[in-house]
Amino acid sequence: MIKTLLLFFALIMLSYAGILQESIDKAPAGATIKLPAGIYKGNIVINKPLTILGKEKDVVIKGDGNGTVITVNSSHVVLKNLHITHSGERMENLDAAIAMHHVKKCEISHCKITGTLYGIDMNMVEDSLIANNYIRSKKNDISLRGDALKIWYARHNIIKNNTIAFTRDVTLTYSGHNIIEGNTFLHNRFGLHLSMSHHNSIKNNTFKYNSVGILMMGIKDTNVSYNRILSSKGAAGIAVVADKVSNFHFNHNIVKYNARALYIDEKENEKGTQRFINHNQFLFNMEVFHFHSSIQNNMITHNIIKGNIEDVLQDLRSKPNQNNTVTYNYWDRYEGFDRNNDNIGDTPHRIFLYADQLWKYDNKLKFFYNSPIMSVLNLLSQIAPFIEPVLLLQDTKPVMQIPN
C-alpha cells in the first residue's frame, strides 16, 4: 500500500507529458501505478510485472502516430481502465494499441482502444484475460484496417465481454484452448477468423453486420454454441464458413437474416461424422445449408429451419452419400402428415435439386423468388420434372410442430 501511494504522489508531481515511461522504469516489479485523468505520452515499453490503472475516467495514453502505443514484454502485467489511441499506420510492422510478446498471466480489461491500426497483437500469449474492452480501428477502408485482436500461437486465454466494432478481423492462427465468450462483433469484415486453431470454445457471442460472422479453416475439436449470428452484410454475407473442419460442434445458435447461414466444404477423404449441427434456429436466411462439394459426414438434428428461401444447396455435383444423420428437425416446407399424432412426420422430408430451378445459382433471378411465374415453374418441376431430380438431403424423422 505504501509503495502504491508513493508512486501515485510522484506521478501527480510530474508533468503528464513524459512521466509514464519514467515511472514505469523506476517502479519496482509488482507495483501499481494509478493514473489520474489526463493525456500521457505513449510508445511505452513494459519489461517487468506491473499494473497500470486509470484511477479516473479520461485517462488517455496517446501514441505519437508511429509504432505501437504500449509494448508488453513481461508476464503478470495488468492494464485497466485506460483509453489507448493514435498508433502508427504501418501494416507490415503490426502497429497496434498494445503488443504482447511471449508473456503469461496478463490482463487487459475495461480499456477503450480507438484510432489504432491493430488493437491488441497477442504473440505467443498464454493464460491471459482480455475482458470488457471496446476496440475500434482507424477509419480506413476495411481491408486497410488492422485486426482488433491478432492472436498468434496463443493458448489458454479468455476473450470475454468485449465490443469489437468497425475493425477488420479477429484472427486466431495456430492458437488453441482459448475461450471466446460474451463478446459483440459489429461491422467488421470477419467477426472471427480461425485458421489451424484447435480446441477453442466460442459461446454466447453476438455477431451482427459483419461480412462473415465466423470463418473456420482447417480446425478441429471446436465448439460454437449459444451465439447469435445476424444480418451478415452483402449479397454474399455468410454467417458461418466451416472449411475442412473436424469434430466441429455447432449447437444452440440463432442464425438469422443472412444471405448464407452455413457454408460447408468437406476435407478430402474424410471419414466418420465430422460436423455436429444440433438444436439451432435457422430463420429467414436466403440459404441455410450450402455445401460446396459432397454432402456427407454430418449430424443435423433438432434444428428449426423456418422462413428461408433455400434450405439446402450444393455447388458441385457428386454422387449421393448416405453417411448423414438427419433427424428430428422442423422444416417449414415439409408437406407430410402425422397420423399417429407423435409430432413426427409419417414420411421423410426429402430435398431435391431440380434442373429447372435456375435461381439456386443466380442471385439476380432470386429477386423473382415467390413471384407467380416462379411459383408455377416450381410446381411444374415437382409434378413433372423433365429429368430425374437429385436428392440432396433427407430428414428421416421430421418434426411436425416447433417444440416449446
Tens of pLDDT, residue by residue, the chain (404 residues): 545 544 554 444 344 546 899 999 999 999 999 999 999 999 999 999 999 999 998 999 999 999 999 999 999 999 999 999 999 999 999 999 999 999 999 999 999 999 999 999 999 999 999 999 999 999 999 989 999 999 999 999 999 999 999 999 999 999 999 999 999 999 999 999 999 999 999 999 999 999 999 999 999 999 999 999 999 998 889 999 999 999 999 999 999 999 999 999 998 888 888 999 999 999 999 999 999 988 999 999 999 999 999 999 988 766 656 689 999 999 999 999 999 999 999 999 999 876 545 555 555 555 555 566 656 656 666 665 555 677 889 999 999 999 77
Distances from the Cα of 299 to the Cαs of 29, 98, 295, 402, in angstroms?
53, 41, 11, 19
Q: Give the integer Cα–Cα distance in Å for 172 and 93.
A: 18
Of 104, 2, 96, 106, nearest to 42 (Cα)?
96
* Domain presence at residue 52: yes
* Domain presence at residue 380: yes
Q: What is the pLDDT at residue 9?
A: 40
For 351, the enclosing helix (H) or strand (E) is strand 349-353
Of 195, 244, 201, nearest to 223 (Cα)?
201
* Domain presence at residue 277: no
Strand 238-243 versus strand 212-217 pairing type: parallel
* Domain presence at residue 162: yes
* Domain presence at residue 3: yes
Of 184, 178, 89, nearest to 137 (Cα)?
89
Give the list of residues 6+ apart from residue 375 with CB closer than 8 angstroms, or none. none
Q: Give the integer Cα–Cα distance in Å for 187 and 325.
A: 35
DSSP SS3 for 381: helix
What CATH number does the domain containing 162 carry?
2.160.20.10
388: number of Cβ within 10 Å: 9
Q: What is the pLDDT at residue 270?
A: 85
Distances from the Cα of 302 to the Cαs of 152, 281, 283, 401, in angstroms?
36, 9, 14, 12
Instruction: State the residue range of the domain holding 371.
Output: 355-388
Tell whether pTM > 0.85. yes
- Distance from the Cα of residue 92 to its chain's centroid: 24
What's the total number of domains in the chain?
A: 2
Q: Give the integer Cα–Cα distance in Å for 339 and 329.
A: 18
* Domain presence at residue 79: yes
Of 106, 109, 50, nearest to 82 (Cα)?
109
* Domain presence at residue 169: yes
Which residues in 89-200 belong to E strands, given as ranges?
Answer: 96-104, 107-109, 112-116, 118-126, 129-131, 134-137, 149-152, 158-160, 163-165, 169-173, 179-181, 184-186, 190-195
Sequence letter at residue 215: L
Per-residue pLDDT tens over the stretch 268-319: 888 888 999 999 999 999 999 999 988 999 999 999 999 999 999 988 766 6
* Domain presence at residue 146: yes
Instruction: Return the C-alpha cell found at 362.
Output: 443466380
Q: From 158, 188, 218, give the residue that closes a domain.
A: 188
Q: What is the pLDDT at residue 148?
A: 98
Which pairs from 314-320 meet CB under 8 Å and 24+ separation? 314/290, 314/353, 314/392, 315/290, 315/291, 316/292, 317/390, 318/293, 318/294, 319/294, 320/295, 320/390, 320/391
DSSP SS3 for 22: helix
Largest CA distance in the chain: 88
Which pairs from 8-13 meet CB under 8 Å and 24+ separation? 8/33, 8/34, 8/55, 11/35, 11/36, 12/36
Of 173, 181, 167, 104, nearest to 136 (Cα)?
167
- Distance from the Cα of residue 132 to its chain's centroid: 17
